[in-house]
């Protein structure tokens, strides 16, 4: 399972800029047409008085036309160098001469079968990999479908959230009670190989697609942990994870968020409503091993505790752009403790930081993973998707998350979530007394 980022969906910027240009051009054409009609009418009225008025109107029309063309030029320039934010130093079109030479050489000399579509997909993936950002990747239609299914919590695999670090894919967190955790996979393990095939330099999405498979089949992972290589054989299972679970534990409302999916905020709201009716004295919000998901979902969950507060800020090229706030009117103001560990990443870090920095909750546990860049999913004409890093997220108070993480107010050794006795929860419950 891969939830390595925070995501926003949008149409392509080209569509937005084209619409703006169309509106500008339409306004100018309408204005020039109106002036032309007035000129024709003026010419008719002035014909009896000579040509001086006629020439005056013609000159006026020419001047307005020149001004209109200048406005069009300014609009086009602003689209090319302003809002589109095209990377400076890059040519508008690539020179594919060397690529064609490489393709011809491969086609003429390769001993085996080649798929033209596979080569094209590899070319696209390699182009994006040249950015040097492990979270900017090209997704084929199949990979996009797998990506969406992982966010919705239903798939067949080992039950682990993966992330990227330089040229390696690593375990962000094994999911509670599923094969990876049972086999001994731990947060921070680097995946060296899957079924004997090296995963060095591969994207998260590629590694996920290799690890997944039919339920009941085995997959072998070579992992690096503390400078040692560990080989584990894991049997795949059907993974179906509810994004929210809750219960009343001795008058303490325990809410566990495993990820931020489409239904998370609705279910979390239902949990608060039910637990409030039972008059719990406070809440323990468990974000341990929550690898993230949809940003909007995390902001909506924050609104259960926060009343019209800044939840997260977007920083792009060193400047703060959009700011996301919680909704007006919170569902509870009761004391809350948030549980975090090194497997808490991305959207869960945003939620934890917002509750901590507004004084709405106390954080208990370990410093979080530190994943604070935002990726946008842009659809392509070939039914693929470009997942591209567009900015980084800052906390409520403007603090950086990426590469830093969120420090808890109180440190606590993390216990296995599958343990019968959860010592960290007991510690959190004591903080509510």
Q: How many CB atoms lie within 10 A of CB 15?
A: 10
Residues 391, 395, 401: CA angle, nearest 5 degrees: 65
Token pair, residue 63, equals 């001047």
For residue 4, the model assigns a pLDDT of: 44
User: What percentage of the chain reaches a pLDDT higher than 70?
Assistant: 76
Overall average pLDDT of the 275-294 stretch: 94
For residue 205, the model assigns a pLDDT of: 83
Q: How confident is the model at residue 26 (pLDDT cuts 50, 70, 90)?
A: low
Burial, 196: exposed, middle or buried (Cβ in 10 Å; 0-12, 13-18, 19+)? Answer: exposed
What is the b/e burial string over 206-235, where b = at least 16 CB atoms within 10 angstroms of the residue's CB?
Answer: bbbbbbbeeeeeebebbbeeeeeeeebebe
Annotation: CATH topology of 154-239: Pdz3 Domain (2.30.42)
**Residues 325-352 pLDDT 10s:** 999 988 899 999 999 999 899 999 999 9
Lowest mean pLDDT among 115-119, 137-141, 254-258: 137-141
What is the b/e burial string over 87-119, where b = at least 16 CB atoms within 10 angstroms of the residue's CB?
Answer: eeeeeeeeeeeeeeeeeeeeeeeeeeeeeeeee
For residue 163, the model assigns a pLDDT of: 86
User: What percentage of the chain reaches a pLDDT higher than 90?
Assistant: 50
Contacts of 161 (CB under 8 A, 6+ apart): 1, 2, 3, 4, 171, 172, 173, 174, 175, 289, 291, 343, 345
Q: How confident is the model at residue 93 (pLDDT cuts 50, 70, 90)?
A: confident
Q: Tell me the domain boundaries of the chain.
A: 13-82, 154-239, 241-431
**Residues 53-82 pLDDT 10s:** 555 555 555 555 555 555 444 444 443 333
For residue 148, the model assigns a pLDDT of: 77
User: By the 8 A CB rule, do 369 and 412 touch?
Assistant: no
Lowest mean pLDDT among 50-54, 399-403, 405-409: 50-54
Q: What letter does residue 138 receive in the DSSP assignment? A: E
- From residue 342, give the alpha-carbon distance in Å to each of 11, 198, 226, 345, 396: 34, 26, 16, 8, 21
For residue 419, the model assigns a pLDDT of: 52
The CA distance from 216 to 113, in Å, is 31
Lowest mean pLDDT among 127-131, 305-309, 391-395: 127-131
Same fold: 154-239 with 241-431: no
> Is the predicted pLDDT of residue 268 greater than 90, yes or no?
yes
**Residues 212-247 pLDDT 10s:** 999 999 999 999 999 999 999 999 999 887 899 999
CATH superfamily assigned to domain 241-431: 2-enoyl-CoA Hydratase; Chain A, domain 1 (3.90.226.10)
Q: How many CA atoms lie within 13 A of 7 on its CB side?
A: 24
> Is the predicted pLDDT of residue 51 greater than 70, yes or no?
no
The CA distance from 7 to 262, in Å, is 12
Which residues does the annotation mark as catalytic?
346, 357, 371
The CA distance from 168 to 374, in Å, is 19
> Is the predicted pLDDT of residue 209 greater than 70, yes or no?
yes
Put simply, whether the predicted model's pTM sits higher than 0.75 gets the answer no
**Residues 362-387 pLDDT 10s:** 999 999 999 999 888 899 998 889 99
**Of 25-29, 216-220, 237-241, 426-430, which has the strongest mean pLDDT?**
216-220
Overall average pLDDT of the 107-134 stretch: 90
Outline where 370-415 has alpha helix (H).
none
Token pair, residue 92, equals 């508008």
Lowest mean pLDDT among 39-48, 239-248, 396-405: 39-48
Nearest to 360, CA basis, from 393, 326, 400, 387: 326
């Amino acid at each position: 399972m891969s939830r390595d980022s925070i995501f926003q969906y949008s149409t392509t910027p080209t569509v937005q800029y084209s619409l703006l240009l169309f509106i500008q051009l339409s306004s100018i054409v309408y204005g020039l047409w109106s002036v032309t009609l007035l000129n024709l009418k003026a010419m008719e009225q002035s014909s009896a008085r000579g040509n001086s008025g006629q020439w005056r109107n013609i000159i006026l029309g020419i001047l307005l036309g020149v001004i209109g063309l200048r406005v069009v030029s300014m609009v086009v320039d602003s689209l090319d160098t302003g809002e589109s934010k095209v990377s400076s130093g890059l040519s508008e079109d690539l020179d594919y001469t060397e690529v064609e030479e490489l393709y011809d050489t491969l086609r003429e000399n390769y001993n085996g079968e080649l798929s033209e579509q596979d080569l094209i997909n590899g070319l696209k993936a390699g182009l994006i990999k040249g950015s040097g950002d492990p979270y900017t990747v090209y997704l084929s239609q199949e990979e996009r479908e797998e990506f969406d299914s992982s966010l919705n919590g239903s798939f067949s695999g080992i039950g682990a959230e993966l992330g990227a670090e330089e040229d390696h894919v690593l375990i962000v967190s094994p999911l509670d009670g599923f094969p990876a955790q049972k086999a001994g996979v731990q947060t921070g393990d680097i995946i060296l190989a899957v079924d004997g095939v090296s995963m060095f330099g591969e994207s998260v999405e590629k590694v996920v697609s290799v690890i997944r498979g039919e339920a009941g089949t085995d997959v072998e992972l070579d992992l690096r942990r503390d400078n040692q290589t560990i080989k584990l054989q894991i049997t795949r299972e059907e993974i179906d994870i509810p994004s929210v679970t809750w219960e009343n534990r001795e008058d303490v409302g325990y809410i566990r968020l495993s990820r931020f999916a489409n239904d998370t905020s609705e279910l979390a709201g239902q949990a608060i409503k039910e637990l409030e009716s039972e008059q719990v004295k406070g809440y323990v919000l468990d974000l341990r091993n929550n690898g993230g998901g949809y940003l909007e979902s995390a902001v909506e969950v924050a609104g259960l505790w926060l009343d019209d507060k800044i939840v997260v800020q977007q920083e792009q090229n060193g400047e703060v752009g959009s700011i996301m706030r919680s909704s007006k009117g919170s569902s509870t103001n009761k004391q809350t403790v948030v549980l975090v560990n090194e497997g808490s990443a991305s959207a869960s870090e945003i939620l934890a930081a917002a509750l901590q920095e507004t004084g709405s909750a106390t954080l208990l546990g370990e410093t979080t993973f530190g994943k604070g860049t935002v990726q946008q999913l842009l659809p392509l004409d070939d039914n693929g998707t470009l997942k591209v890093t567009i900015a980084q997220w800052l906390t409520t108070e403007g603090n950086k998350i990426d590469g830093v993480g969120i420090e808890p107010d109180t440190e606590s050794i993390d216990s296995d979530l599958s343990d019968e006795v959860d010592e960290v929860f007991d510690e959190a419950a004591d903080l509510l007394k």
